[in-house]
Structures are given as C-alpha cells and as structure tokens.
Amino acid sequence: MTNNTSLSNSASRGTTVDAAPAPKADRHFDRKGLVQMTLLGLLLLLPVVAYFSGQIYYVNLASRITIIAMAAVGLNLAIGYGGMVSFGHAAYFGLGGYVAGISAYHAFDLTPFMTWPFSVPGSDNLLVIWLAAMLLCGLLALAIGAISLRTTGVYFIMITLAFAQMIYYFANSWPTYGGEDGLPIYIRNTLPVVDSSDALTYFLICFTGLILAMAITSRLMKSRFGAALTMARLNDVRLATAGISPYPIRLVAFVISAAITGLAGALYADLNGFVSPTMLSWHFSGELMVIVILGGVGRLYGPLAGAVLFVMMETFLGGVTQYWQLFLGLVLLGVVLFAKHGVMGWLAGRERNE
C-alpha cells in the first residue's frame, strides 16, 4: 500500500507543475474541453452532412482519418505514455490488415485457412476478424517486446524496425496471398444486423472504435498501472526502488498498444477492399510517428488532431503538387520548434496525459 501511494505521488510530481489556482484550472479545463469536443463534433458531423449530400468520397475520407487516428492512439500509448519509441508499429497495422484480408479471402473462396492440426475456416464476420487481429497482434508484440524491451534508446528503435521489416519482406514474398501485388477483398466483411457496406455506417463503426481506444487509454493512464507506466518513463530506477519492475509494465503497455494498432489495420483493409505489404513498411511507421508528433506526444487527443492534419495535407495538397511532403516537413519543423506540445498543446494548453 505504501509503495502504491508513493508511486502515485511520484508520478504526479513527475508530470505536473505546481498546482494552479482553481479559477485558472477551470479556464484551462473549459478551453481544453472545448477544443476536444469541437474536434470530435466536427469529425462526427461533417461525414453525416457529406453522406446526405451525396458526397460519399468525403465520408470515406473521414473513415480513413478515424482509422489512422486509432492506429496513432496505439503508438501514442507506447511513445507518449510509455517512452517506448517504436519504429515498427506498421507491423501490427499490416498484420491486422492481413488478418482481415486472408480471412475474407477464404470465406469468399469457401476454403479453410488451415487444415492441420485442425481445420480453421475463413470468416467474413467483423467481430471474429477484429478479435483475431487484436489477439495475433498482441501475441506478436509480446514476442517482439520480450526481446526489444530489454534494450533502450536507439537499440530499441532498431530492433522494432528490424522485426517489422522481416515481416514486411515475408509478406512481400508470400505468393499465396498476392505477394508484392497484394490481396483484394471482394466483399466487405459483415456485422450481424448492421449494413457495413454502407459508407456512413462503416464510418460510425470506425468512429466508435476510435472512441473506445481513446477511452481505454484514458482509463489506463488514470489507474495505478498508468502511474507505474508514467514513472517507468520518467525514472525506472525509482520505480524499481518502489518494488515494481518496469519491464512487465512496459511489456503490457506495448502489447495493448499493438492490439489497438492491429484493430485499426483490420478496419483499414476493409475500408480499402485491399491489403498489401505497403501497410507493413517502415514508411508507414514513420508516418504514424509524424502524426503523433504533430498532434502532441502523450496527449489523449493528439493522435486525432495529427491524423486530421496529416490526411488533409496528403489529400488536398497532394492533389495540387507531388511535393506536398515538403510542406508537411515545414509544418512538422514548425511544430517541433514552436509548439513542442503539438497542435493540441497549442490549441488546448500544455497539460499532458489528459
């Protein structure tokens, strides 16, 4: 009991400054809450307006933003809250996508995924696919994390990158499921009683998944586990002195992070109707990291703000010039130099770990 109390106090001291007067805190809460609710409200409202205006493209664009934001929520749990700079989260995103694609392929073809030691049929049920994607990504992260988390710094970064590239090259040379050409999903996977082929319905499914991922992250970080993870990031020696080993705390967070990103990958594959090795590439891992930095590292709504900014620039600037990433680089440079807490920090205030 003493250790838990001291841990919570230590984590609190490590992540906050001197308590502000109540009126100032209220003003900060109002500002932060207003920014967060505005962001969520616009993300929910605009696709509805676009749908009833016949602009299905923008509904699918909103679904893409939501899915990318969910993947970034997973990475933010590792980087922002746990201090684990993973450069291999594309492995979990891509694996989730391949789970959806391969399962749909065998369901469409009426062939089993495997026949030994027992028969495993394909499935087009989204609930089955989501659970399988999260489970497999969690198991993969458990194996990778068990090795990589014994290192720190650049060694951890390179090990996560190495494992991700191994999986990328495996998928690239796997002819059964299209190899480098990828694997089409001919019919969108289904949910009981829900028409997942409808653009607005699928957006609402993705939006619900994002809200749940953010709620789980928020709940975790407000628990004793979150206090331990925060202290593991700030001072793992002090955490060990309190009688808690940092290694299993980080490993659990890493597994949860991968499961969230894997679920996003499964949703993304169904949205596009296609899965390919590019979902596993280090390039996508870098994009996720850029999104987290743009929105605000260690901020609950940071991944959403970063995803909105990134996808908007990619879509609209990319339609004007092929050099749109030059402008992205300038924005990223500006955020790093002048808004170190990201877009959400600039808009809502500097408080972290909401």
**Predicted structure pTM score:** 0.89
Residue 108 CB contacts under 8 Å (≥ 6 apart), including other chains? 122, 124, 186, 187
What is the band of 15 on the pLDDT scale with cuts at 50, 70, 90?
Answer: very low
What digits encode the pLDDT tens for the residues 18-38? 444 445 555 555 788 899 999
Least confident of 6-15, 273-282, 315-324: 6-15
* CA pair distance 291, 285, nearest whole angstrom: 10
Query: Distances from the Cα of 200 to the Cαs of 10, 126, 225, 229, 331, in angstroms?
Result: 45, 16, 36, 37, 31
**Domain ranges in the chain?**
34-348
Asked if 94 and 167 count as a contact pair (C-beta separation under 8 A), the reply is: yes
Q: Given this model, what pLDDT does residue 21 score?
A: 47
Q: Given this model, what pLDDT does residue 350 score?
A: 58
What digits encode the pLDDT tens for the residues 72-129? 999 999 999 999 999 999 999 999 999 999 999 999 888 888 877 878 888 999 999 9
Q: Given this model, what pLDDT does residue 19 score?
A: 42
Q: Given this model, what pLDDT does residue 1 score?
A: 47
Residue 194 has φ and ψ, to the nearest 5°, of -120, 135
Residue 139 CB contacts under 8 Å (≥ 6 apart), including other chains? none
Q: Given this model, what pLDDT does residue 4 score?
A: 52
Residue 321 CB contacts under 8 Å (≥ 6 apart), including other chains? none
* CA pair distance 144, 159, nearest whole angstrom: 8
Q: Which helix (H) or strand (E) holds 97?
A: helix 90-109
Q: Given this model, what pLDDT does residue 9 score?
A: 52
* CA pair distance 175, 182, nearest whole angstrom: 9
Q: Given this model, what pLDDT does residue 259 score?
A: 98
* Stronger pLDDT, 338 or 259, i.e. the higher one: 259
Q: Is 297 helix (H, G, I), strand (E, B) or coil?
A: coil
Asked if 345 and 296 count as a contact pair (C-beta separation under 8 A), the reply is: yes
Mean pLDDT of 152-157: 93
Q: Given this model, what pLDDT does residue 74 score?
A: 98
* CA pair distance 221, 290, nearest whole angstrom: 22
Mean pLDDT of 11-23: 45
Q: Given this model, what pLDDT does residue 118 score?
A: 79
Percent of the chain with pLDDT over 70: 90
Mean pLDDT (the chain) is 90
Q: Given this model, what pLDDT does residue 3 score?
A: 52
What digits encode the pLDDT tens for the residues 203-256? 999 999 999 999 999 999 999 999 999 999 999 889 998 889 999 999 999 999
Letter for the amino acid at 41? G
Q: Given this model, what pLDDT does residue 207 score?
A: 98
